[in-house]
Amino acid sequence: MVEPLNRGAIESLQSPLARVVEVHGALGSTQERARELAHAGTPHGTLVLAEVQTGGRGRLGRSWGSPKGGLWLSLVLRPWFGANLASRITQTAAVGVAKVLWEIGVEVLIKWPNDLLAGGKKICGILAESSAGNAKEPVEERRLDYVILGVGMNANLDPTELGVQNREVTTIRSELGRDVDPLELLRALLSNIDAELDRIEDFRAILEDWRRLNCTLGERVRVRRFDDTIEGRAVDLSPEGALVLSTRAGTVELFEGEIEHLRHGGEIL
């Protein structure tokens, strides 16, 4: 029998990322609640967790199915580094979360920018949303007021419970054939994310791990962003974490977008 998470147990982890803890039964979105708390001045290391989200959000305005059994959480971070490093946060968190999954025996790969896939199916999504200080200041000098780092981990549930049509999702239960202790999973997540964030200024080390753990580099890909679609070969990550694409029109660097791997022969290249 897996014990549900409660505030006391989480506080006993004594994680610097869980100094203030809110645990909800059902909540619209932990991301929105964390943002409210951030606006109200909550400190670095505030953790909002919900057993069920009724309005979970993914990237690009998508909804995120969040029934019982998953680990749905958002962290409020008050970064010590400037807004010029904000673009590094997604990859930094992805490396931390990927390492947790490998530690418990799930062989995941990172699909740029922020999906964790097991056997090609999504098992976890990461959503980093930043609020920077005075937009009139040059980005190198601008402070980050806060970052809301959301993690949606398909943990102790069956893929069919996620309400996704295309069966492109998996769960820890389905990969391991057993459930995991949510408190242990949370402990490992907080500890790894904290350790990776601690070395964000030395981004080369994180990028090295990212390259080792990813399944995007070397692939032919199609990236949709805004009204634009770009096809090419994913050749590297830039020193700041942008995806470097080699296209017919030359080299392009992308920080954002919806990516599709064209394994079965894209028309281009």
Residues that bind ligand BTN (CB under 6 A): 29-31, 53, 56-59, 62, 64, 66, 72-74, 114-115, 125-127, 150, 152
By beta-carbon proximity to ligand BTN, the closer residue of 122 and 220 is 122
Cβ 136 to ligand BTN, closest distance in Å? 30
Query: Given the complex with ligand BTN, which of 130 and 247 has the nearer CB atom?
Result: 130
Using Cβ positions, the residue closest to ligand BTN within the complex turns out to be: 125
106 vs 96: CA distance, rounded Å: 14
Instruction: Supply the minimum distance, in Å, between the C-beta of residue 72 and ligand BTN.
Output: 4
Number of H helices, E strands in the chain: 6, 12
Q: Which is nearer to ligand BTN, 122 or 173 (CB)?
A: 122
Q: In what order do the strands lie in the sheet with 250-254?
A: 250-254, 243-247, 228-237, 220-225, 258-261
Nearer to ligand BTN, 82 or 255 (CB): 255
Question: Do 206 and 212 touch, CB atoms closer than 8 A?
Answer: no
CB of 7 to ligand BTN, least distance (A): 17
- State the minimum distance, in angstroms, from the CB of residue 124 to ligand BTN: 8
Q: Which residues pair with 151 in a beta bridge?
A: 73, 126
* Least distance from ligand BTN to the Cβ atom of residue 151, Å: 6
Residue type for position 230: I
- Considering the complex, state which of residue 59 and residue 88 has its C-beta at the smaller distance from ligand BTN: 59
- Strand ranges, E, within the chain: 20-27, 46-53, 71-77, 108-111, 115-118, 121-132, 144-153, 220-225, 228-237, 243-247, 250-254, 258-261
